[in-house]
Amino acid sequence: MIPFLSYSQIEEDLIMKADSILETILQEINPEKTFKYNCEKSNEFINNTYWYDCQEYSNRQKRLKRKELKRTTDINYEIAFDLFRFDTISEFVKIRFDKNWNLISTEGIDDPESLLLLVNSKIDISNVKKIATDNNFSNGCIAWKINLKYEEEFSKYCWNVVNTIDLGDNLGCNSEGEILYIDAITGEIISIKKWQTECL
């Protein structure tokens, strides 16, 4: 079973159900050694509105209010998991349930076969920074944003290194930069693309 690292108001049985769904999808991957439950990012949504985080309420009135809302409104639960080896990657997997704990959707496990290679890959965030630096990827004017995700365009897991070349105006309009795509398994550079924000 995936270890729980902090207190959560989402019931443990529901987290365990999410854990068993991961086991079914992944098969050859041991979820306990691959994922960790993210209490801070696992939420209850009432009418699609975020309701609480993982900290316990100290105010009894809030508890009572939550109890009343449960009886009268539509509720979804979203269970989030991080990857153990890539501790900078938050909410890698999200599993959503309805109020009766029926599965609605899973997000983040687009390619279980590639994920098996990924969890054994030696390409971590420090390697990614080195690859970007060695290939003269511009530092830009603020720190790089680095994330790991499955890219549909390339049909593989990629590290995305995002720089900002121009901050734009005070509202962030017309800011621009580049995105460096690195194969998360081989470390090969796949592509460099430009990004830009526009405001009407």
Looking at the structure, tell me whether residues 160 and 102 fall in a common domain: no
Read off the amino acid at residue 119: V
- Identify whether the C-beta of residue 15 lies closer than 8 Å to the C-beta of residue 79: yes
Residue whose token pair is 């306990």: 32
Which pLDDT tens digit goes with each residue over 103-142?
Answer: 888 887 766 777 777 777 778 889 999 999 999 999 999 9
Q: Coil, helix or strand for 195? A: strand
Residue whose token pair is 């949504």: 45
Query: Could you tell me if residue 5 is inside a domain?
Result: no
DSSP 8-state secondary structure symbol assigned to residue 120: T
Looking at the structure, tell me whether residues 16 and 104 fall in a common domain: yes
Query: Could you tell me if residue 71 is inside a domain?
Result: yes
Which pairs from 141-147 meet CB under 8 Å and 24+ separation?
Answer: 141/165, 141/166, 141/167, 142/167, 146/88, 147/89
- Which structural domain range is residue 63 located in? 12-109
pTM of this structure: 0.61
